[in-house]
Chains A and B, each alone.
Chain A
């Protein structure tokens, strides 16, 4: 059965108990109502037989993933297949990767529904019509998750905060700390080009998926170009039933600071009294930070010329830096390098490939152990071993990929085909030490 066009994903939301459709997003052509009904029906049938249906593949290469949240809302993601799985990547573009992507999507969508509406409204449904209307407030974020368009943002997948290492971290750190304190808050964060450049210690103690979700919200607010915001937000883990206020200020286009706070200060007072005091002296520092751009690394870190793209995760702090570089194809006869957009895609696929097959995936905390066993992203193959693979590589028609893990870091690299395979390990270990040594990531 070919349900959707290749590459498109549709999201369905229904009440878990009665299967009343709450909303559908994504894909230009909606699935017919009968199909939606069947998808719900087959899951319900499984439930009757004490079987949880979580994922299935269709003959046309499509995927369906189901998940029920808090016994109240059922989310179903349907993909037409083909997303990101260009023929070239061979192993790393298959159905397993698609399943992981869709499962992440469902988790993220649920979190963003809680973020906007709070858990109570979603679990104690008194009036379905009202819930339907209120759910519209989540569409902006949900569509952003579905489109997943911004290049270089991998946090939705990795649940590690996309970060940018500023050239002058101490000054920015002091300013964020001071600014948060003056705003009666312990949670403050500076976001540059959609990535966290500095944050208070407490910000890093939020659940990793909350950090990622708040970053996504900040990105969408920042993209609108508005000057400041006062948004009520629920924290899916930390405060699912009581709303906090997210105050956000656009310091310079592309550089936003935010705090999570209680009833005070008012947006007006924070903006007129506090923002200027802490940030006006740092305009030039912020500009330097903006100049780092999508490279995410300060100029002091130089990368080997044969690194095409990289994703580095700090497993303790749950932060990541990533970049794709424009290398020039020079030696004639070499196969052409993949485009920038394709490199981002390949990096995501290689991340899923490595974390499902070889490396452990630090799962989001929201997943209970039983659920984890049910969903089983890590193959039995890995679980059957007493030891952990430390490195892995993959050679495809488009590029070579190398993964490396230490107790503290995970590094994923894309390297041009022209580099001999035996040199990959050296490229990887050297890249890791280059980045880790400099700014203490």
Chain B
């Protein structure tokens, strides 16, 4: 079943990190102007009178070897981006806390996004890794690199692995990495547009210097939060619909 993605900014307030009222929330994920690294036993703590719910999601990062999966996870979490490319020889997960404000009712949530990253060669060599990544997954980020045409052409193969998965609905986003290296750009803007139309999936772009730690990741994280929230609403809606039908038959 194809699901129409929500248009950007329709559910979650875009650029909320720039607004004044977001400060007390974002300050909880920052430490000395850098992003805070949370251990599994930690989470952002708000003062008791500001109760904020945290919603948990599992996101798998898919893409050809060397496309920048590990670097993307590090960038989104505000961790040091490795300056050398090394293969990821197993599954590594990275946790990102991201506060987002719903447009509809002004409620704020902490999105706890756990990014699952696994090297392509490891996936090929060990059969148990992919099922582990697919277990209860909520979203998949399909990565391609603007400097590697084959990674773009490979997208449909990557996505084919995820069509018809019985594991319920999964949010799908496409991310183009290394967008800053335009000198070596191998994927034309028109190709991206065509792709976007054909699959009706959002395509996001990342790359370049890590600036203030929020501005460069906000569009992607907000888009992800928006799509995940939307998916949950649709699922809840259909569940309610189902249960109403059930009660109907019972009566």
Contacts and interface: CB of A to CB of B under 8 A. Distances in A.
Contacts of A227: 38-40, 93-95, 114
Contacts of A286: 41
A250 B95 CA distance: 11
Main secondary structure of the interface of B (DSSP, over half): loop
B246 interface: no
A267 B91 contact: yes
B73 interface: yes
Interface in B102-145: 114, 119, 121-122, 125-126, 128-129, 132, 135-136
A227 B94 CA distance: 5
Contacts of A252: 39, 41-42
B92 interface: yes
B40 A224 contact: no
A280 B91 contact: no
A251 B93 CA distance: 13
**Which of B70, B74, B93 has the most chain A CB atoms closer than 10 A to its own CB?**
B93
A268 interface: yes
B135 A136 contact: no
A291 to B, nearest CB: 15
Nearest to B129: A230
Contacts of A250: 39-40
A57 to B, nearest CB: 32
Nearest to B82: A224
B74 A224 contact: yes
Contact of B40 (A230, A232, A246, A275): A275
Interface in B60-96: 70, 73-74, 77, 79-80, 82, 84, 86-87, 89-95
B40 A271 contact: yes
Nearest to A250: B39
Contacts, number: 99
Given A225-B77, A253-B39, A267 B92 contact: no
Nearest to B86: A140
Contacts of B86: 139-140, 143
A116 B39 contact: no
A279 interface: yes
Contacts of B90: 229-232, 246
A255 interface: yes
A267 B93 contact: yes
B84 A232 contact: no
B87 A137 contact: yes
A225 B117 CA distance: 13
B79 A251 contact: no
B58 interface: yes
B37 interface: yes
Interface of B: 37-42, 58, 70, 73-74, 77, 79-80, 82, 84, 86-87, 89-95, 114, 119, 121-122, 125-126, 128-129, 132, 135-136
Interface of A: 116, 133-134, 136-137, 139-140, 143, 221, 224-232, 243, 245-246, 249-253, 255, 263, 266-268, 271, 275-276, 279-280, 283, 286
